[in-house]
Structure 1
């Protein structure tokens, strides 16, 4: 499923873009979900890095597309942005916010489908597994492979990542369920470990990022089995 946002204040163009996306979906067998916004401030209001591709009008009444894209880039470095404009000069400015492309009005389906193919290919090439986490001071999108482990500290969860440590609210039980499909294993009630970063075992500890993380006696066998499966070799 590809998640699209359309940010367009002119109804005729909004409906045209929806129609083109459905046509593209039917022709190329892609599954597409669409959410529409009428202004830049509207998409920013509840933005949680939930989209794969954003079709963004440049000229809007309250918050223009360029300003909205600048704010989105602070929260989401991965989403593909395509500007919709009637002036080609905005394509140059679009590079400042890492926009992939621009589509000139009036929009033809051929022009649209060509740009969309490029966007989908870019999205798939850099496709990775991400989770979006509500932190104490905002939200952050993590690539799962960048997370070493998560530690439970009271009512908080501490994400230990390549970028540093981040504190979030939540329960380890809910997180364990969400991350189990990404090769995370709860070897101890207080730690959820990314098997990708396990360097080895030392007694009752897993070595992760040069740290010894405890593995409980009751979970040791299951952890070793999961680690063996992940490594694809027998651990003696």
Structure 2
């Protein structure tokens, strides 16, 4: 999952960017968690390096985008910053904060999608973690962040990912051990879920990619504790 922030004081532009990101998500299979900020001071206040990409408006009332980017760079050298602007005279300052690119207003989807794809390529080179999964035809390389959850059924494991589903022979406990350092949790004996994709908890189930996955009573407290810890570390 890609954590993306939109820092934009105009609601119409923020809504348009969100619409474009959702469209790109459907077309590319990349999964985004989008956070919206209305001014530069909002994102810099308590910033903890939680984002992969920041779409930053330059002209804002309390703290402009360039100043916000300078503050963020003091804490985070890896986040990809892209400026949203209708002015092109910020190039030199943009290089000073290592901005990847500019998106010019009015924003077209084609230009935006090209630039967003470039940003995603940059972060994947830095952060992608893979596991090797034994398939009947050989070994499959799977991006850890593409896995929504793994479901156990008999002697088979069904992997639900952002790139589709596939089934292998295996034991869920083996993958529980393999993925223990990547924020996965065994919600019950049949599911190993990626906490990054949990959209909520209701009626004894966690919600992932539009599906309700049962949390066993015995694991509920531990699951909620793990989810709370993960959410706190992502803020």
- Length-normalised TM-score, structure 2: 0.55
Once the two structures are superposed, the pairs formed by residues 107-122 of structure 1 within 5 Å of their partners are: 107-122=107-122
- Tell me what 1:16 maps to: 16
Higher-Rg member (1/2): 1
- Tell me what 1:224 maps to: none
CA deviation after TM superposition for structure 1 residue 126, in Å:
1.7
- Tell me what 2:49 maps to: 49
- Tell me what 1:31 maps to: 31
Once the two structures are superposed, the pairs formed by residues 1-236 of structure 1 within 5 Å of their partners are: 1-127=1-127, 181=181
Q: Any gaps of 5 or more consecutive residues in structure 1?
A: 130-178, 183-236
Q: What is the CA deviation profile of residues 42-73 of structure 1, one whole-angstrom value per residue up to 9, with x for unaligned ones? A: 00113110000000000000000000000000
Counterparts of 1:128 and 1:16, CA distance in 2: 28
Counterparts of 1:18 and 1:33, CA distance in 2: 11
- Tell me what 1:146 maps to: none
Segments ≥4 residues shifted beyond 2 Å: 179-182
Counterparts of 1:30 and 1:128, CA distance in 2: 13
CA deviation after TM superposition for structure 1 residue 21, in Å:
0.4
Counterparts of 1:73 and 1:9, CA distance in 2: 21
Counterparts of 1:108 and 1:92, CA distance in 2: 24
Counterparts of 2:31 and 2:180, CA distance in 1: 25
CA deviation after TM superposition for structure 1 residue 181, in Å:
2.4
Q: Any gaps of 5 or more consecutive residues in structure 2?
A: 130-178, 183-235
Q: Secondary structure at the match of 1:87?
A: coil
Question: How much is the aligned-residue C-alpha RMSD, in angstroms?
Answer: 1.8
CA deviation after TM superposition for structure 1 residue 101, in Å:
0.3
- Length-normalised TM-score, structure 1: 0.54
CA deviation after TM superposition for structure 1 residue 123, in Å:
0.7
Bigger RCO (CA 8 Å, 6+ sep): 2
Q: What is the CA deviation profile of residues 116-162 of structure 1, one whole-angstrom value per residue up to 9, with x for unaligned ones? A: 01000011112268xxxxxxxxxxxxxxxxxxxxxxxxxxxxxxxxx
Counterparts of 2:100 and 2:127, CA distance in 1: 15
